[in-house]
Structure 1
């Protein structure tokens, strides 16, 4: 069974962890400050590749952002690619930055 936990330090940096049968199978490196949830990196343990765990992490990240009324700044290439591919699905939580 897959579960999630968020572990943050006192500055708001940390991880969204995906646990499979109580063992960490993947994570997203995150930072939360001033209503913005920045995601830097998504990683899934190689033994769990191909199981859709990156997508599960993304779904939980978005669920958390919606529940806590946060905007997501997708610096992670995977998350950014998913946001660009499905912009309508993430429009309410996507913090687009000007370049």
Structure 2
């Protein structure tokens, strides 16, 4: 079973972390300040690549951002590429 959890420290730095059957197999590292969520890196373990998990992490982050009225600064190459490829999906949350 897969689970994605937002795990933050006291400075609001952390990650959306992907667990499959209790094993950590991916994460999207980020920080949150005021009304901005900055994404630094998205990574999935080699054995979990090609199964759409990076997109699931992205979808979870986007849902969180919209629910909390934040903007996204996509420093992560994967997230930035998705925002550029599908601007109609992300323009409302994209901090350019």
User: Partner residue of 2:55?
Assistant: 55
1:95 Cα offset (Å): 0.7
CA distance in 2 between partners of 1:23 and 1:92 (Å) = 33
> Which structure 1 segments of 5+ residues have no match?
none
TM-score relative to the length of structure 1: 0.93
- Kindly report which structure 2 residues correspond to 1:28-39, keeping only aligned pairs within 5 A, or say none: 28-39=28-39
* Aligned structure 1 segments of 4 or more residues deviating by more than 6 angstroms: none
Count matched residues. 96
1:34 Cα offset (Å): 1.1
1:21 Cα offset (Å): 1.6
User: Is 1:71 aligned to 2:77, yes or no?
Assistant: no
Q: Secondary structure at the match of 2:60?
A: helix
CA distance in 1 between partners of 2:4 and 2:83 (Å) = 21
Root mean square deviation of aligned Cα: 0.7
Moved more, 26-35 or 13-22: 13-22
User: Is 1:91 aligned to 2:84, yes or no?
Assistant: no
